[in-house]
Structure 1
Amino acid sequence: MKKLITALMLGACVSMASASALAADAKLEPITYLLPAPKTLPAFAPWLIAQEEGYFKDAGLDVTFVTGKGGVDVAKQVGAGNAPIGGAIGDTPVIVRANGIPVKSVALLGAGSLTLIASHDKDPIDKPAQLKGKTITVMAYTDTTYYSLLGTMKKAGLTRNDADIQAAGPAGVWQLFAAGKAQAMAGVPEWVVSARNGGAKVHIMDPAQGFDSMAQAILASDELIKQNPQLIQKIVSATLKGMALIMKDPDAAVAAYVKAVPSHKGQEATIRQVFDLYNKYVYANQKVLGEMNADRLSKVQDFYVSEGIVSKAAPLDELYTNQFVGTGK
């Protein structure tokens, strides 16, 4: 009888604990975050780490990631109110504002550009002028990597007609380069590591020589910024905490990320290489984590207007806000 009573008490305790956990989860606010590409890509590690480490949960959020069709599509969906918040590139508001889509960047994940100009060690490219006459791969002619490449070439007075630029898709962009069928590639850190794993010895141009495009950004609509700034603050703070872990403790970040994305199990060394590139070229040198540099954004917009990518410039304060980061809180 004593054993039975003990078992019943234990069962009751477990049930109460489970009920408490369910009650706690029930208090979490469900939020859909729209990503521009599948969440399994290492580029989205800050968000996945924030989820795995409980940063979103600590902020009272239950975040569900949904994949959109690129950054511009994310901006359109967020601007239309079909999703409360989403991710793109810091350049994206420049493109969509010209079409009347009311979104802003509310946090920028790094001071550098997401796009790197890679070449082969045996024929390194260190200056924009050296891109002349080269075969260069990009993901697509409507992708930010392409626009960033054009911006880099323009610094040397070159146009897209001065090189053989090939839109090769997200896999072909690095595969053609790794196979030696392209002399350069405009791509994100993941593709650089993929090319290295594919046998290429990769040289990366100093980003200071190239076009100052942007890192990834969190986008929110004007309406959400006005109506529910507290929600944006929670998402921004948790995401930046995920980014900070990658910067401060890459090994712990790799472990958390692989736990969040089990398909990468066994690829820890590769993920660490990707994180190292993000830390060196994308995340580094941002005085306040998440902060937009208005001067840099202004130059990016000037380029987009000069190239006819957008029809007109928008006031800078319509493109971003720093109210959710650092001293702007």
Structure 2
Amino acid sequence: MQLSSKLQFEFASFIAALEQGYFREAGLDVSLKEWFPGVNVAKEVAEGRADFGTLDSSLIVERANGRPVVALAALMQHSAVGLLLRRQAETLSASDLAGKRVGTSKDTESEVLAYLQASGVSSGEFRHLPQIGDARRAVLEDKVDAVGVFIGDDAVRELGGRSDFLLLSPRSAGVDLYGTVLLTSESLLEAQPAMVRAFRSATLKGLDYALDHPQELVNLILARYNTQHKSREQLLFEARQIGELSRPANVALGAMSIARWRHVLEVYSAQGSVKPGADLLGFVYDPDAGRLGPLLPWMLGGAILGLLAVGWGLRRFLAREN
């Protein structure tokens, strides 16, 4: 299992599935591989060095650019990216950032730029400062007027509640991407559909447990998985934020829709990352249909056309006989 970051509460679903024995009960022997600089998660999975992985909505860019990867489940229904804004008299929303300094990291850049564009601020109207490593320091030292953040980060925990800062969400401008997405390769899904289904099911069971028992999972992370040396307060804050994004009301754990992925595609198309109208066939896993999920609509369509052709032929035959 190739993770897209270092271990933290974001990956509590896998930790819970390991510690509660859900993977073992499914006959799976699972190990977690932390991300490190230079690792391309989609490439690791597509080339077989990992069976599964996690990535954000940029997974669709990998797919559109030729990587044979499949989205199995949305572990976070909404992205954790936000925009932390220094509150000023003339700066109270994303639309006020024309002429201002906006900082991003590699992981927040696409979504922040899409948010600004959707808010009516085009790329040439603000000063973009990419590759911001420490969002908290950048905003406190007045190096930026706004900075992309993950809402579970320390910058948000420490500054988000202060009266001189605002935390804005891209969703307020209609930019609604998925957060953490579970993925596998087309080849593994084709070769072992039952194993893929079992892994997905155990992961979602782990996610459900983790969201219901955040204190217990934080204790586990502190005891065995805390490679980032986060404090209990940091992890509990992250757990609260991720819980709201992972299990919103009336949405099943892991659920995805073609309509949402088309929206994601439009966001990346507007930035030139993918061609408009890229084909999504085979990209979104259907757990109810198993290995035929990505092909099922096409097969049903073919079957219907076949039946229509048979009916048309039978009609012509009976007409000649009469």
Please classify the TM superposition score into its range, dividing by the shorter chain length: 0.7 to 0.9
Hey, what's the Cα distance between the residues in 1 that align with 2:95 and 2:244? 24
Q: Which has the higher strand share?
A: 1
Please name the residue that 1:134 is paired with: 100
1:240 is aligned to 204
Paired position in structure 2 for 1:187 = 149
1:107, 1:322 within 8 Å by CA — same for their partners in 2?
no
8 Å contact kept, 1:49–1:253: yes
Residue 273 of structure 1 corresponds to: 237
Structure 1 pair 262/83, CA: closer, same or farther in 2 (3 Å)? closer
Please tell me whether the aligned partners of residues 113 and 213 of structure 1 are also in contact (alpha carbons under 8 angstroms).
yes
Matched, 1:61 2:28: yes
RMSD: 3.0
Residues 37, 70 of structure 1: 8 Å contact kept: no
How far 1:302 sits from its partner (Å)?
Answer: 1.6
Partner of 1:45: 12
User: Take 1:138 and 1:280, find their aligned partners in 2: how far apart are those partners?
Assistant: 23
- Pairing 1:203–2:166 present: yes
In the alignment, does 2:54 pair up with 1:83? Answer: no
Aligned residues of 1:131 and 1:163 also touching (Cα < 8 A): yes
| Structure 1 position 306, deviation (Å) | 2.7
Q: Aligned AA for 2:20? A: E
**What is the CA–CA distance in structure 1 between the aligned matches of 2:207 and 2:76, rounded to whole Å?**
9
* Paired residues for 1:218-237 under 5 Å: 218-237=182-201
**Is 1:174 matched with 2:141?**
no
Residues 55 and 123 of structure 1: is their aligned pair in 2 closer, same or farther, counting only changes over 3 Å? Answer: farther
The number of residue pairs the alignment matches comes to: 288
Scaled by the length of structure 2, the TM-score of the pair is: 0.78
Q: 2-side partners of 1:207 and 1:285: how far apart?
A: 19
Which residue identity does 1:131 align to in structure 2? L
**3-state SS of paired residue (1:231):** helix
- Structure 1 residues 1-329: aligned runs within 5 Å: 33-38=1-6, 40-68=7-35, 73-92=40-59, 94-120=60-86, 127-140=93-106, 143=107, 145-169=108-132, 171-191=133-153, 193-197=154-158, 201=162, 202-210=165-173, 211-262=175-226, 267-285=231-249, 287-323=251-287
**Structure 1 counterpart SS, 2:178:** coil
Over the matched positions of the two proteins, sequence identity in percent amounts to 23
Shift of 1:123: 6.7
Q: Structure 2: 5+ residue runs without aligned partners? A: 294-322
Give the direction of change, closer, same or farther, for the CA distance of 1:68–1:268 in structure 2 (3 Å limit).
Answer: closer
The CA deviation at 1:76 is 1.6
SS of equivalent residue, structure 1 residue 287: coil
Preserved CA contact (<8 Å) 2:101 2:145: yes
| Residues 72, 214 of structure 1: alpha-carbon distance in 2 compared, 3 angstrom cutoff | farther
Aligned letter for 1:172? D
The one-letter amino acid paired with 2:34 is: T
* Comparing 269-278 and 197-206, the one that deviates more: 197-206
Pairwise CA distance, 1:88: 0.7
The letter for the 2-side match of 1:137 is: G
CA displacement at 1:113 relative to structure 2: 1.3
CA contact (8 A) 1:233 1:324 kept: no
Distance in 2 of aligned mates of 1:76 and 1:129: 37
In the superposition, the TM-score normalised over structure 1's length comes to: 0.76
Report if the CA contact (8 A) 2:44-2:50 is conserved.
Answer: yes
Letter in 1 for 2:261: L
Distance in 2 separating the partners of 1:253 and 1:135: 38
